[in-house]
Amino acid sequence: MSLSTQFLTMISMIGMGSLFGALLDTYHRFLKRPKRRTWIVFLNDLLFWTIQALLIFYALFLVNNGELRFYIFIALLCGFAAYQSIFKGIYLRLLEMLISTVFSISRFLRDTFILLIYKPITGLIQLIILILLSIGRGLLSLVNLIWKIVLWITKLLLKVIRMILLFFWKLLPKGLKKSVEKLYNKTAGNFKEIGNYITKFLGKWKRKK
């Protein structure tokens, strides 16, 4: 390994150590370890450390084709220590500012969506439903009114027809009246017998079941 390659390896590993410190603080900031269940914390820790190992190995592979040397671990520790002593406070403040900005932008977008899209659409839907309900009530009232008019006309026609029939009934001879009455009584008796027969038949059929 040439001297320039070793120098680049040292610089890159110091940078990866600092990056590891920043990513570790970011991970702890979002994980909120005390509020999580133990198995969730374990899985997240395993995934985090695996990703960090892969990132460091990938950076090492780009610099010196993945050759491991003892000074690489010292460079990683130096980079991590430099981050902890110099950059940690600045990074955490920037991280909180970034998180606050993202939350503010997301709240603004949410409020804008609710104000310009959600509320107008829901208001339009409510207006359409109100119009349809009003039309339905109006049609129902109109149908009820027409039905009442039809009933009133029907009753009136029945009264007129009854009066006409009574008038012609009074004009009929007594002999014809008696014939009509006999025919009426006979027809009514026949219908009554048919009804009784049907009732008896249904009663027997139910008992058989």
Q: Token pair of 186, please?
A: 């006979």
Using DSSP, state whether 100 is helix, strand or coil.
helix
Residue 98 has a pLDDT of: 93
12 pLDDT band (50/70/90 cuts)? confident
pLDDT at 32: 76
Mean pLDDT of the chain: 83
pLDDT number for residue 170? 67
pLDDT of residue 113: 92
Predicted confidence at residue 108, as pLDDT, reads 93
Domain edges within the chain: 3-126
User: What pLDDT sits at residue 174?
Assistant: 67
Tokens of 156: 């009136």
| Predicted pLDDT of residue 129 | 94
Mean pLDDT of 66-91: 86
- pLDDT value at position 104? 94
Tell me the mean pLDDT in the region 107-123: 91
Highest mean pLDDT among 54-68, 87-101, 159-173: 87-101
CA pair distance 90, 88, nearest whole angstrom? 6
- Residue 208 tokens read as 């058989």
pLDDT at 209 over 60: no
pLDDT digits (tens, 9 = 90+) for 34-77: 777 888 888 888 998 899 888 888 888 888 776 777 778 888 89
12 touches 60 (CB < 8 A): yes
CB-CB contact of 60 with 9 (8 Å): yes
Which percentage of the chain shows pLDDT scores above 90? 28
Alpha helices in the chain (DSSP H): 3-31, 38-64, 70-82, 88-113, 119-171, 174-208
Q: 168 vs 21, which has greater pLDDT?
A: 21
pLDDT reported for residue 175: 66
Q: What is the pTM of this model?
A: 0.56
Amino acid 177: pLDDT: 59
Distance (Å, rounded) from C-alpha 198 to C-alpha 192? 10
- Burial class from Cβ neighbours inside 10 Å (0-12, 13-18, 19+) for residue 17 reads buried
Q: SS3 of 1, please?
A: coil
Residues 17-34 have a mean pLDDT of 86
Mean pLDDT of 177-190: 67
CA 52 from centre of chain: 39
When pLDDT is cut at 50, 70 and 90, the band that residue 205 belongs to is low
